[in-house]
Amino acid sequence: MKNHIKDYYLMHKDVPVCLMEIGDEGDLHNVRRNRDALAHFPIGGQMNDVRFHEWWRDRAIPKTRHGAKTALQKLGYSSTRSALVNNLALSLSDCYWIKPRDEDISWRDVNLFTNAFVDTFGELTINRDYVLDLRKVTRFNCATSQGELQKKWCIAADGRRYLIKGNYGESYQQSLNELFATRLHEQQGFDNYTPYTLVRLQVDGNVEGLGCMSYDFCSEEIESISAWELLQTVKTKHNESLYYPLKEVCMGFGMSEKTFTDFMDYQIMTDYLISNTDRHMNNIAFRRDPDTLEILGFAPIYDSGNSMFYNVPFEQLTGIRLDDIKTHSFVEKEVRLLRYVKDRTLVDADKAVMDFSLYEQDVYERHIRIPLLKELYERKLDRLISFQKGVDLWKDRRYIE
């Protein structure tokens, strides 16, 4: 089948940052940067064309997202990247989009922050048993977002955009984990986090289940830049921890060392408490002004659902070694992340005692699983208290099981 290639401008709001050719399957060719707008070029692709192509590929909805294959077939797309092109690469995380060279349209005409839309792709991945075709409702069938979990963007009555997420894994408890993390941050009095609330949704077999929702912290005035993007501006060594390169980049953008370390200290310790194993570089982000291009600080903590042993069968929970939990973050072992913490007092252990009754709402085999989750959390809290008293958990024999 012939690959049709068409000219597009990559736009940042109404600033053309480059002209490029894009094929039917979302493949890029002949990228020509606008020298008068180099500062607006995506941070993740500024170093060279290879990194720009990676930035573009990362923009598409992951093909591994649950329900993606069926949704693509029903919408007539051959791949997630062809869907990306058809929907002008619009996102609710930043102000980038693609403009066909031969079309007279502007940011005001297309942006998802102010224009109505229906996320049909998200609807199909969450409600997979329904045959829906909402393409006539709006020009745009999906908004780009990362991650394997089913997601759907919606518009509230007051105009705010919000994201609904589903669940997967052994316990289908990610949504409850997001609520658990929300309550932990509330109790700590920490204010830079994304609050999640529970919603009811239809899942496989017309069964009603729990999902969660959160309001978008981005807008036309604030966009999100991932830690992964910032790290594309520097060369890192193979197998090097990305903590210090990220710190260096942030300070280069004007962030103070204390602002960086305080946020990371708090996030590392709370992630340790809830056993969040998925704080990778796309789950840490920064707020940027899309007009002035100023980095405004860390984005609110988000995506804490892959925590609380969500993917561990209940019969294996009693055999978990707390010193050997693997994580997708700066280092492979969770306990070794604590080595980066400068101020061990930033989490109040007295305010980290949690109510586990919220898990009674939807956890599979709850009568067995919930007591085990509570026991594991309390053991982690005891270890954090020891850490705050000066014990280096990663090398103290009393805590190596």
User: What is the CATH classification number for the domain harbouring 386?
Assistant: 1.10.1070.20
Q: Say if residue 259 is in the same domain as residue 395.
A: yes
Q: Which residues lie below 8 Å from residue 100, measured CB to CB, with a gap of 6+?
A: 6, 7, 8
What are the tens digits of pLDDT across the range 333-367?
999 999 999 999 999 999 999 999 999 887 767 78
Containing H/E element for 198?
strand 197-203
Q: Say if residue 143 is in the same domain as residue 232.
A: no
Alpha-carbon distance of 303 to 196, in angstroms, equals 10
Q: Say if residue 142 is in the same domain as residue 229.
A: no
Q: Which two tokens stand for residue 322?
A: 């707390």
Q: Say if residue 233 is in the same domain as residue 159.
A: no
- Report the chain's mean pLDDT, rounded to a whole number: 87
The SS3 call for residue 286 is strand
Q: Say if residue 107 is in the same domain as residue 253.
A: no
pLDDT at 146: 45
Q: Say if residue 88 is in the same domain as residue 227.
A: no
What are the tens digits of pLDDT across the range 82-106?
778 888 999 999 999 999 999 999 9
What are the tens digits of pLDDT across the range 29-47?
999 999 999 999 999 999 8
Task: Look at the chain and report how many structural domains it folds into.
Answer: 2
Q: Which two tokens stand for residue 275?
A: 């056993």
pLDDT at 211: 85
Instruction: Determine the distance from the C-alpha atom of residue 290 to the mean position of all C-alpha atoms in its chain, rounded to a whole number.
Output: 19
Q: Say if residue 248 is in the same domain as residue 143.
A: no
Question: Which residue pairs, CB below 8 angstroms and at least 24 apart, start in 227-230?
Answer: 227/281, 227/282, 227/284, 227/285, 227/286, 228/44, 228/58, 228/280, 228/281, 228/282, 229/42, 229/43, 229/44, 229/55, 230/43, 230/44, 230/286
Q: Say if residue 271 is in the same domain as residue 360.
A: yes
Cα–Cα distances in Å, from 255 out to 234, 243, 371? 17, 15, 42
Tell me which range, 25-34, 187-196, 198-207, 304-313, is most confidently predicted by mean pLDDT.
187-196
**For residue 62, which of 86, 80, 88 has the smallest C-alpha distance?**
80
Q: Say if residue 9 is in the same domain as residue 79.
A: yes
Sign of the torsion angle spanned by Cα atoms 360, 365, 368, 369: negative
Establish if 66 belongs to a structural domain: yes
Establish if 178 belongs to a structural domain: no
pLDDT at 75: 65
**For residue 225, which of 91, 114, 86, 62 has the smallest C-alpha distance?**
91
- Of the CA atoms within 13 Å of residue 318, those in its CB half-sphere come to 3
Establish if 294 belongs to a structural domain: yes
Q: Is the pLDDT of residue 130 over 90?
A: no
Q: Cβ distance 295 to 251 under 8 Å?
A: no
pLDDT at 69: 66
Q: Which residues lie below 8 Å from residue 67, measured CB to CB, with a gap of 6+?
A: 124, 125, 126, 128, 150
Establish if 216 belongs to a structural domain: no
Task: For Cα atoms 137, 138, 143, give the angle at the middle one, nearest 5 degrees.
Answer: 130
**For residue 9, which of 27, 36, 34 has the smallest C-alpha distance?**
34
Tell me the residue type at 250: C
Containing H/E element for 202?
strand 197-203
Residue 67: band (very low, low, confident or very high) from pLDDT cuts 50, 70, 90: low
Establish if 179 belongs to a structural domain: no
Establish if 336 belongs to a structural domain: yes
Last residue of a domain, one of 116, 132, 165: 165
Last residue of a domain, one of 141, 165, 189: 165
Establish if 276 belongs to a structural domain: yes
Cα–Cα distances in Å, from 370 out to 173, 273, 357, 367, 377? 11, 16, 8, 6, 11
Tell me which range, 104-113, 126-135, 162-171, is most confidently predicted by mean pLDDT.
104-113
What are the tens digits of pLDDT across the range 135-189?
233 333 444 444 445 788 888 889 999 998 877 655 578 899 999 999 999 999 9
Q: Say if residue 230 is in the same domain as residue 345.
A: yes
The SS3 call for residue 322 is coil
Q: Say if residue 161 is in the same domain as residue 229.
A: no
Establish if 18 belongs to a structural domain: yes
Last residue of a domain, one of 165, 200, 234: 165
Q: Cβ distance 215 to 197 under 8 Å?
A: no
Q: Say if residue 259 is in the same domain as residue 352.
A: yes
CB count in 10 Å sphere of residue 189: 8
Q: 141 is in which domain, residue-wise?
A: 5-165
Residues 256-271 have a mean pLDDT of 98
Q: What share of the chain in percent tops pLDDT 90? A: 66
